[in-house]
Amino acid sequence: KQEVTQIPAALSVPEGENLVLNCSFTDSAIYNLQWFRQDPGKGLTSLLLIQSSQREQTSGRLNASLDKSSGRSTLYIAASQPGDSATYLCAARGNNDMRFGAGTRLTVKP
Amino acid sequence: DTEVTQTPKHLVMGMTNKKSLKCEQHMGHRAMYWYKQKAKKPPELMFVYSYEKLSINESVPSRFSPECPNSSLLNLHLHALQPEDSALYLCASSQGQPRLGETQYFGPGTRLLVL
């Protein structure tokens, strides 16, 4: 059974810093790895999706990488802003399921 | 229209009540999903419908009954729930090939409280 772990569980940084969120998964037989953002009490917003054949995806200040062989993905956020404060979840999509990590709660202080 | 909508936003029900959650999308997606998310926990997949057919049921108790009347609409019928079923219920949709791993688009969720 796929297990997805996210480190750190919480992160607080000053505005303007670059930061990296980590996601690891135990079963490398995935179709894709997706990063989401969730604001308190809200639904999920898809940020980036990396197919299993890809190494990275970029969207604006966000860059996600995928290393299937080591079971790792990272989300890089450049020049963080207070509006980036949210919980960031990664999800590994397998044959019959989609497993989420517990998330990293990010706070960007002005 | 790139939205997944869910109604109601909030629901309080007793353990003997029957209620339904509704999810709708008009993006032409043919796969729809129900997730359950407890407080401070990640979402857990409950059901997947692909082309209006139930393709995945993650061993969810029978007090949760999904229904997909058409490709745009997904319901979750609730009956005889327990207080531990209180959670945020999220609906999502994708183009139609869940096994290929497509981007899922999520609704805002229905926050359910069972008394």
- Cβ proximity of B50 and B2 under 8 Å: no
- Chain B CB contacts of A42 under 8 Å are 108-109
At residue B2, does pLDDT exceed 80? no
Residue owning tokens 């869910």: B6
**Residue B12 vs residue B2, higher pLDDT:** B12
User: A2-52: per-residue pLDDT in tens?
Assistant: 899 999 999 999 999 999 999 999 998 998 999 999 998 888 999 999 999
d(CA B99, CA A52): 12
Distance from CA of B69 to the nearest CA of A (A): 23
User: B25-53: per-residue pLDDT in tens?
Assistant: 999 999 999 999 998 889 999 999 988 89
Asked whether the beta carbons of residue B90 and residue A34 sit closer than 8 angstroms, the reply is no
Q: Is A91 helix (H, G, I), strand (E, B) or coil?
A: strand
- Chain A CB contacts of B44 under 8 Å are 100
